[in-house]
Amino acid sequence: MTRQPAHRRIIHVDMDAFYASVEQRDDPALRGRPLAVGGVGRRGVVAAASYEARRFGVRSAMPSVTAQRKCPDLLFVPPRFDVYRAVSAQVHDIFSRFTPLIQPLSLDEAYLDVTHPLLPYPSATAIAQAIRDLIREETGLTASAGVSYNKFLAKLASDYRKPDGQFVITPRMGADFVAALPVEEFHGIGPATAARMHALGIRTGLDLRRQPLSRLLRHFGKAADFYYGIARGIDERPVEVNRPRRSVGAEKTFEADIHDWPAARDIVGDLSARVWDRCTTRGLTGVTVTIKVKYNDFRQIVRGRTAVEPVRDTTDLADRAQALLAPCFPPPRGIRLLGITVSGLRARDTQPAPRQLALFG
């Protein structure tokens, strides 16, 4: 009988400043210089920043004008998503040499379960090092890795020695490592939830561990079980291979604010066509349509509606999105971004599957 390991062996691999590093790799003139990938101009947004730019406080999702104020010598290059996807495919090919259990999170990061690796390595730490070495050799890029016995801790560990490093959190270390961290550094706890925790006197992992489950349930609902577990270094979530897509969407940021309904209606038509084309490519439709409206003061609203029948085509999607957007007009201030998302996904021309309860929403 094969002996089962006492703990899973999980690796989180995260490419270092991925988009910016690809650009610096391909253009030697950009190396060692503060670089942002993204759009220039009043409405431009930073998609990625090199480590040289991050020293000045430049971050992804930052308005380009803010980034330029922080770093006057900042260079901008437009994104080349076709190149990034090709490099990502190379990296994922490397992953597949070690395990079939791969959960991509984006083009530049993934979880790997190497509890039963395809190649005979002495430890998950050795596998992580081998993967990083191959990434450097075959792509000319660097990656950081976190190694632990669950996904939550592996993700924390990969941030610990960035860039171009790796860190291991063993079962003996897990609970104590979490106890010392501020809750805002926990993957899965965003700024709004961290602020709510602070208001309850929960500032560190140790504070979180001291909370009764009943109190967490009262304040955080279905997420309480997850928070209760991770405060103790426990996370039973599996590495999900071929994790089903939850939504399909598109959005557009405008060079000039939108104020009138005809212009907004035309944009909704264009976005609906883009979203439906993506749905068609994947053989999907959905029952929930959501719109996002971001104003010129960066405040935003999100409105959604779920129907019995799934979206049929581009026209149907546009009609549903326009019905959600119409009450927002006339807008209280200029609109700088509109977005449309389809969720509640299912294969086209199929009946809805029976609803199942999920442990985590």
- Condensed to tens digits (0 to 9), the pLDDT of residues 318-331 reads 999 999 999 999 99
- Structure confidence at residue 84 (pLDDT): 93
pLDDT-based confidence at residue 355 (cuts at 50, 70, 90): very low
Predicted confidence at residue 6, as pLDDT, reads: 67
State the residue for tokens 């026209």.
315
Q: Which of 65-69, 168-172, 295-299, 302-306 has the least mean pLDDT?
A: 295-299
Is the pLDDT confidence value at 189 over 90?
yes
* pLDDT at 83 (0 to 100): 94
Asked if residue 67 belongs to a domain, the reply is yes
The whole-number pLDDT of residue 244 equals 73
Token output for 83: 């190149």
Say whether both 131 and 185 belong to one domain: no
- Please identify, among 122, 144, 171, the residue that sits at the C-terminal boundary of a domain: 171
Helix (H, G, I), strand (E, B), or coil: what is residue 10? strand
What per-residue confidence (pLDDT) applies to 360? Answer: 30
Q: Assess whether pLDDT exceeds 80 at residue 359.
A: no
* Mean pLDDT for the chain overall: 91
Q: 112 near 166, Cβ under 8 Å? A: no
**pLDDT higher than 80, residue 356:** no
Q: Please give the average per-residue pLDDT across 248-252, as a whole number.
A: 91
Domain identity same for 9 and 139: yes
With a pLDDT cut of 70, the percent of the chain lying above it is 95
Do 167 and 20 have their domain in common? yes
Contacts of 335 (CB under 8 A, 6+ apart): 254, 257, 258, 259, 264, 293, 294, 295, 296
pLDDT at 57: 97
By the 8 A CB rule, do 139 and 87 touch?
A: yes
CA–CA separation, 151 vs 148, rounded Å? 7
Which of 105, 98, 205, 116 has its CA nearest to residue 158?
A: 105
Confirm or deny that 108 is annotated as ligand binding. Answer: yes
Residue 281 lies in a domain: yes
Query: What value does the mean pLDDT take over residues 42-52?
Result: 91
What integer is the mean pLDDT of 88-95? 95
- The whole-number pLDDT of residue 197 equals 97
**Cβ–Cβ < 8 Å for 36, 53:** yes
Q: Is the pTM of this model over 0.95?
A: no
In DSSP notation, 291-329 reads: EEEEETTS-EEEEEEE-SSPP-SHHHHHHHHHHHHGGG-
Neighbours of 299 (CB within 10 A): 10
pLDDT at 349 over 80: no
pLDDT at 350 over 50: no
Q: What are phi and psi of 290, to 5 degrees?
A: -130, 140
> Is 109 tagged catalytic?
yes
Range of the domain at 323: 247-347
The pLDDT of 230-248, averaged and rounded, is 89
For the chain, the straight-line distance linking the first and the last C-alpha, in angstroms and rounded, comes to: 37
Classify residue 356: in a domain, yes or no.
no
256 assigned to some structural domain: yes
Based on the fold, state whether residues 2 and 64 are members of the same structural domain: yes
CA-CA distance, 223 to 116, in Å (whole number)? 30
pLDDT band at 2 (very low <50, low <70, confident <90, very high): very low
**Residue 133 in marked binding region:** no
> Quick check: is 269 in a domain?
yes
Query: Residue 232's pLDDT band (boundaries 50, 70, 90)?
Result: very high
Both 105 and 115 in a single domain?
yes
Q: Rg (Cα) of the chain, in Å, rounded?
A: 23
Nearest C-alpha neighbor of 87 from the set 32, 162, 138: 138
9 near 113, Cβ under 8 Å? yes
- Same domain? For 212 and 281 the reply is no
Handedness of CA 319, 321, 327, 328 (dihedral sign): negative
Question: 268 and 191, same structural domain?
Answer: no
195's CB contacts (< 8 A; 6+ apart) are none
Q: Indicate the residue among 128, 156, 171 that finishes a domain.
A: 171
The kind and range of the H/E element at 347 are strand 335-347
Q: What is the pLDDT of residue 7?
A: 87
Task: List for the chain the helix, strand, coil content (%; round to 5).
Answer: 40, 25, 35
Give the model's pLDDT for residue 5.
58
Q: Is 357 a domain residue? A: no
Q: Which helix (H) or strand (E) holds 46?
A: strand 46-49
Our count of domains for the chain comes to 3
Residue 51 has pLDDT above 50, yes or no: yes
Yes or no: say if 63 and 44 are a contact pair by the CB < 8 Å rule: yes
Q: Mean pLDDT across the stretch 136-141?
A: 97
201 or 299: which leads in pLDDT: 201
Over residues 259-273, the pLDDT tens digits come to: 999 999 999 999 999
Regarding whether 207 and 123 lie in a shared domain, the answer is no
For residue 361, is pLDDT > 50? no
pLDDT above 70 (res 352): no
Query: Is 50 exceeded by the pLDDT of residue 81?
Result: yes
Same-domain check for residues 23 and 166: yes
Residue 358 in this model has a pLDDT that exceeds 50:
no
Nearest CA-CA partner of 315 in 268, 258, 348, 350:
268
- Catalytic residue (one of 109, 138, 185, 251): 109
